[in-house]
Structure 1
Amino acid sequence: MITFLISLAALVLGYLVYGRFVERIFVPDDRVTPAVAQADGLDYVAMPYWKVFMIQFLNIAGTGPIFGAIMGAKFGPAAYLWIIFGCIFAGAVHDYFVGMLSMRNGGCDLPELVRHYLGGAASKVLLVFAVFLLIMLGTVFVYSPAEILHGISGSTTMWITIIFIYYVVATMLPIDKIIGKIYPLFSFSLLFMAVALMAVLFVKWPALPELWDGVGNMGKAADPASFTDNIFPCLFITIACGAISGFHATQSPLMARCLTSERKGRPIFYGAMITEGLVALVWATVSMWFFYDAPQPGYAQIGGTMANGLHTSAPVVVNLVCKDWLGIVGGVLAMLGVVAAPITSGDTAFRSARLIIAQALKLSQRAKKNRLYICVPLFAASFAMLVWQMENPDGFNTIWQYFGWANQTLSVFALWTITVYLVRERKPYVITLVPALFMTCVCTTFFMVSKTALGLPYTVGYGVGATALVVAAVWFVVWMKKSNCKG
């Protein structure tokens, strides 16, 4: 628990100190924002700051900082370090600059930012990549809530139909009609859940592995047969939301179109990411205790629970912990967490996809028919992916693992885009160069070793990942010299 307290303090200080440092690098001013200059009553809609924060938090969070932290807790105290350093120095910086650059460029989406700073070829690749990722996310967040609701009443097909209808309506309507009204409520529920669980942790004060006990892979040490993932690169893919997530780069522009002042960027973009990190810390700590349930030090029980399939499914952990610790209120919060939060992530994923495609096609979205031109094939692709997922026994896990890699690869594009911007503006580019190089290495290595990708031995994967790191660094130095933009 001492590590948990230190981690909480580190995140708060990160916002107060490093967040202000990052803000001073960007230098927000009083210029008119897209929410005012391009107001259209649909996507560019000025909203109160508190509401923008709550929507931004739920947009980037959903169940990400819960499920990812639960699965990442099996790696042991190393999860704390990734959440702290990833959130403060990578994720929050990533979200802040994407949001602020979107505001400075008329509320444009990530592919347009990439075109502006990395070139047309990279933008076209990212366009296809981002839309495919958003369709994957929306699809996996149809089936899992439908299955849970099916356990209460009705059929899975019925709930899939209802969720899809909601997605279509939420994607088509102005952002303040549904998203602006219900998101703050769900956002408050997620925050309340985290605060309540934190209070229980303080009361129970469990004995947990601390950083000074070692940051080795405790899950593998306890059960090498069942838990085969290495900390590098798997931890950095497993815990995305709560540290750094490329999906956030598709969400920050949504709120960049609703802010009426650049000076609110730090609490909205940087602050929402730090808040998400706090939620991830709570769930990582709760889960660590869950997997650490043994009378002697170590992860003695993790092998049995993993082998029996118990306590390893993130939704199961959420349900058990909330109901046991928080009673009836916890049951309601758990239901919101495993049902409502995924659905809200899915609808903003499809909304982002619509806007990204519309921007690429230069198709105004004011006319409903233009929105339908994009939404119909978008949802048709999602439905086809959903059918494949349901027909394959391990379809959900397969899509989710591909999403995990694609999600972090998207963050690589965003980080390199921001780095080029900082170089061109002669600002301290190292703040994103280091995370960009690190995530380039992580994503390359994971693609090499993941069983859903190439499945190569770790020694080979590490070698290729290190090579990608060197190549990226050399490319950057050569580009700087050619462009005469020494920062």
Structure 2
Amino acid sequence: MISFILCLALLIIGYFTYGKVVDNTFGPDDRETPAVSINDGVDYVVMPQWKLFLVQLLNIAGLGPIFGAMQGALWGPIVFLWITFGTIFAGGVHDYFSGMISERNSGSSVAEFTGKYLGGVMQNIMRVFSVVLLIMVGTVFAVGPAGLIVTLCKNGGLSGVLTTTLFWLILILVYYFIATFISIDKIIGKIYPVFGLCLIIMAVGVIIGIYTNPEFTIPEIWSHMYSMHPAGTPIWSFMFITVACGAISGFHSTQSPLMARCMKSEKQGHFVFYGAMVAEGIIALIWAAAGCALYKVTGGLNTGLAEILSGGQSAAIYDVCSKTMGGVGIALAMIGVVVCPITSGDTAFRSARLTLSDWFHIDQGRYANRLKLCIPVLGVGAVLGIGNAVGAIDYTVIWRYFSWTNQTLAMIVLWAASMYLVSEKKNFWITAVPATFMSAVSSTYFILAPECLGGLINSKTAEGAVVYNTAVAYPIGIIFAIVLLVIFLRAAKKHAAA
């Protein structure tokens, strides 16, 4: 338990110390923000700081810091280190700069400000990449909750249309359309803070349940400085990809511009962007601790956790909440597994609309213009979602690539932030170092993962276990990261000489 407390303390201290360093490096001032200067009553709307924080937290969190952290706990308490230092030095930095650079560029979407600092080619790549990613995220976060609601209805003894996935999917998509279309302060600004509090309360309840139950003990990092993964999956770089939202996530950079358009003052950025990421890191740390403390260990491996995770994310969350909080926990778990994905899904579609509006320069202040984008975006989501509901489309293969593309997006945004700091003649190492690190993470995973190049270079034992070819992947990943750093430093030097 001592290592958990130390990591928790480091996260809190990191917000007040390194978070302030990040804020001072950017240099917020008293200039007029887009929410004030543009204020279209739809996407550019001033909201109070506490709402900005809770909406940002829910936008970037959802089930990410819960299920991702529990999956990361398969490697054992060593995951605490990645959650802690990843949040402080990578995730918080990424979220802060993606939000503040967007704010400095009239609240532009991630594709637009990335293109401004990395060039037109990268801009077009990011436009397509981010729209496809956002629609995919939104659709999956419609299909998943629909299936969970059906399960709840069946368990509750209901029958008929209420127990069909298609019915609930259509209702969720209708809600998505409304939430994507209307002003951000009408639904998102009103109910998201409540659900954000539920996410925090659920995490607090879990850790109190662990500490008050003598049967549960959070293992120490120093006693388990090895991989406890039952399948023998390497820590590098699989753990760093698996625990995405709880340490650093590229998806956050698609969400930060939403709040960048609603800030009254630049000086709110430290609390809203860096602070929300630290809060998510704390939530992830708690759920990772639950994964390490509640389940049996066999031969030094987390076999019990692997077993519960095999039942799916809803089953795992339900089990943890019921064991730590009883009936209250079960109620919170149901809110979490249904509401959290939906709240991430609707903001994903909203971000897709805004990305397209920035891309094609379509003013979103008019109803007709919003309809021009809402209809095709939600239309594609509906076709994909209904196709999945009736068994015509299988997301399993596609979704396996999400974790990698998510961290690759974070890598690109950090490089864009580095070029921004170069252009501002400020300390670019604060973003260049995590950008280099994430470049090594993403490239190594791409080479090792079975769904990527791993199928070509890895082998299998007679029992069918995967033997990862780390001797090839590790050097290539490190070299790739160094090459990107060299390219960046040359570009920075050229810019300085111009």
Normalised TM-score (structure 2): 0.91
Report the counterpart of residue 342 of structure 2 in structure 1: 343
What's the offset of the Cα at 1:303? Answer: 3.4
**Cα deviation per residue 1:175-213 (whole Å; 9 max; x = unaligned)?**
011101110110010001111112122223633331211
1:76-475 correspondence to structure 2 within 5 Å: 76-153=76-153, 154=162, 155-204=164-213, 206-219=216-229, 223=230, 227-291=231-295, 293-294=296-297, 298-299=300-301, 302-303=302-303, 306=306, 313-387=312-386, 389-390=388-389, 395-455=394-454, 456-457=457-458, 458-459=469-470, 460-475=472-487
1:446 aligned counterpart, secondary structure = helix
Q: Which residue of structure 1 aligns with residue 158 of structure 2? A: none
Q: Distance in 2 between matches of 1:144 and 1:134?
A: 15
Query: 1:22 — aligned with what?
Result: 22
2:387·2:393 contact (CA, 8 Å) conserved in 1?
Answer: no
| CA distance in 2 between partners of 1:310 and 1:111 (Å) | 35
Question: Given the alignment, which residue of 468, 493, 498 partners 1:481?
Answer: 493
The answer to which of 443-452 and 264-273 deviates more is 443-452
SS of 1:47 mapped into structure 2: coil
Inter-partner Cα distance in structure 1 for 2:303 and 2:324: 24
Partners of 2:53 and 2:324 in 1: CA distance: 28
Instruction: Write the letter of the residue equivalent to 2:479.
Output: T
Aligned residue pairs, count: 475
Residue 462 of structure 1: how far off its partner (Å): 2.4
Q: Aligned with 1:454: secondary structure?
A: helix
1:140 touches 1:399 (CA, 8 Å); kept in 2?
Answer: no
Residues of 2 paired with 1:310 and 1:279: CA distance? Answer: 18
State the alpha-carbon separation in 2 of the partners of residues 277 and 305 from structure 1: 21
Return the letter of the residue paired with 1:176. D
Corresponding residue of 1:69: 69
What's the CA shift for 1:390?
A: 4.6
Query: 1:29 is matched by which residue type in structure 2?
Result: D
Q: CA shift at 1:379, angstroms?
A: 2.0
2:11 aligned with 1:2, yes or no? no
What percent of counterpart residues are identical?
46
Distance 2:424 2:474 in 1: 34
Residues 235, 36 of structure 1: alpha-carbon distance in 2 compared, 3 angstrom cutoff? same
User: What are the superposed Cα offsets for residues 293-338 of structure 1, whole Å, 9 maximum, x if unpaired?
Assistant: 25x8833xx43664x6666532211111212322232122101110
Aligned to 2:157: none
* Residue identity matched to 2:275: G
Q: Which amino acid aligns with 1:110?
A: V
Q: Does the 8 A contact of 2:308 with 2:316 survive in 1?
A: no
Give 3-state SS (helix, strand or coil) of 1:232's partner. Answer: coil
The one-letter amino acid paired with 1:160 is L
SS for the counterpart of 2:492 is helix
What is the letter of the counterpart of residue 82 of structure 1?
W
Compute the displacement of 1:449 (Å).
1.9
- For the residues of structure 2 that align with 1:394 and 1:170, how far apart are their CA atoms? 26
Contact 2:166 2:389 in 1 (8 A): no
Report the equivalent of 2:465.
Answer: none
Structure 2 gap segments, 5+ residues each: 154-161, 459-468
The answer to whether the 8 A contact 1:56-1:252 is kept is yes
Distance 1:158 1:312, change over 3 A: closer
Query: Is the deviation greater in 401-410 or in 171-180?
Result: 401-410
Output the amino acid matched with 1:15.
Y
| Secondary structure of 1:298 counterpart | coil
Which whole-Å CA distance do the structure 1 matches of 2:408 and 2:3 have between them?
30
Q: Which amino acid aligns with 1:212?
A: W
Please state whether the residue corresponding to 1:124 is helix, strand or coil. Answer: helix
The letter for the 2-side match of 1:342 is P
| Residue deviations 1:99-147 (CA, integer Å, cap 9, x gap) | 1111111111111111211111111001111111111111111111111
Amino acid in the other structure paired with 2:120: G
Distance in structure 1 (CA, Å) of the matches to 2:78 and 2:393: 29
Q: Answer whether contact 2:72 2:242 (CA < 8 A) is retained.
A: yes
Q: Which amino acid aligns with 1:242?
A: G
* 8 A contact 1:426–1:485 mirrored in 2: no
Deviations 1:250-281 (A, max 9, x none): 11110011110111110111100000000000
1:383 corresponds to which letter in structure 2?
A: A
Instruction: Tell me how far 1:469 sits from its aligned partner.
Output: 1.2
CA contact (8 A) 1:71 1:314 kept: no
Amino acid at match of 1:422: L
Contact 1:68-1:239 at 8 Å conserved across structures: yes
The answer to whether the 8 A contact 1:424-1:485 is kept is: no
Residues 423 and 429, structure 1, Cα contact 8 Å, conserved in 2: yes
After TM superposition, give the deviation of residue 387 of structure 1 in Å. 4.8
Q: Note closer, same or farther for the CA distance 1:395–1:72 as it changes in structure 2 (3 Å cut).
A: farther
Retained in 1: the 8 A contact 2:218–2:290?
no
| C-alpha distance in structure 1 between counterparts of 2:182 and 2:206, whole Å | 35
